[in-house]
Amino acid sequence: MGKQVDQEPLGASAPARPLARRGIGQADTEVKLPQGLLGGQQVRVIAGPCAVESREQILEIASFVKAQGAFGLRGGAFKPRTSPYSFQGSQQQGLEWLALARESTGLAVVTEVMDPAMVGMVAECADILQIGTRSMQNFPLLRAAARSQKPILLKRGMSSTLEELLYSAEYILLEGNTQVILCERGIRTFEQETRNTFDINAIPALKRLSHLPVFADPSHGTGKSEYVAAVARAAIAAGADGLLIEVHPRPEQALSDGRQSLDFERFASMMGQIRRIAAALDRSL
């Protein structure tokens, strides 16, 4: 009675080992940015608000997370929202504010692109293009983003298998862009206490199946700020190469995802905990 989730005859052009799969003895791929490497000895933290809300907001957050040791700044300018009535993001204006924040802090900027036609515009501002969970199987977008030659942070679809995630990475790699970071962000299950179920198994599984760097997003993976630090520690303990963390100075006023955003005090505390866990694995922050 076994099944395959998606039963497809692979074309004659399919290689014995897809590009995203780790060969025997193959070393980890490192993604290279001016600010440093992703996927190496150092654990990297990319932090920031769910949505870029204003110039002041993003500069305040960037400056704080930089001081705490963050490597990158996350922030959505174009926001994919379930409802068309929800805040859709600050859009082009938001990209400009992100660029300002990079200039003032030196942080690597990570932001989402949703539309193939927008890749050029977003790539001008971003150091890393994020493909969001709802876009993991948006194949025209994967190809367009890949061609920008920017590093791609590829988030797992909220109901995608690890095999499907690796095939989506393959779309990018086949365009000649080898700078792909895989990101576990929680999957949809029956559990009701948390927004998603962070799939901790995915961390060692992806590290074994693939040579690409693996990040974790415990903010979406739990959906509640009180659980973020614990799951962040767990992800690093399991072998993740970095974290994506939602931070907001006043979470209760955030235009989106306030429920899962850490305030500054909690973020600082989490960074201290992560430092200790990383050290227990002979890694540093």
| Interface positions, 191-220, toward a copy of itself (CB under 8 A) | 191-195, 197-205, 208-209
Nearer to a copy of itself, 108 or 213 (CB): 213
Residues 87-146 that bind a copy of itself (CB under 8 A): 87, 114-118, 134-135, 137-140
Residues 242-281 that bind a copy of itself (CB under 8 A): 255-257, 259, 276-277, 279-281
CB contact at 8 A, 111 and 77: yes
Among 234, 263, 264, 268, contact with a copy of itself (rule: CB under 8 A): 234
Nearer to a copy of itself, 57 or 256 (CB): 256
Residues 154-183 that bind a copy of itself (CB under 8 A): 158-159, 161-164, 167, 170-171, 174
Nearer to a copy of itself, 36 or 80 (CB): 80
The dihedral sign for the CA sequence 14, 16, 21, 27 = negative
**Minimal distance in Å, beta carbon 145 to a copy of itself?**
13
CB contact at 8 A, 198 and 216: yes
SS3 97: helix
- The answer to whether 16 contacts a copy of itself (rule: CB under 8 A) is no
**Minimal distance in Å, beta carbon 105 to a copy of itself?**
29
CB contact at 8 A, 174 and 152: no
Determine the Cα–Cα distance for residues 73 and 279; give it in Å rounded to an integer.
Answer: 23
**Minimal distance in Å, beta carbon 269 to a copy of itself?**
13
Determine the Cα–Cα distance for residues 135 and 117; give it in Å rounded to an integer.
Answer: 14
Nearer to a copy of itself, 105 or 225 (CB): 225
Determine the Cα–Cα distance for residues 131 and 142; give it in Å rounded to an integer.
Answer: 8
Contacts of 141 (CB under 8 A, 6+ apart): 113, 114, 115, 116, 119, 131, 135
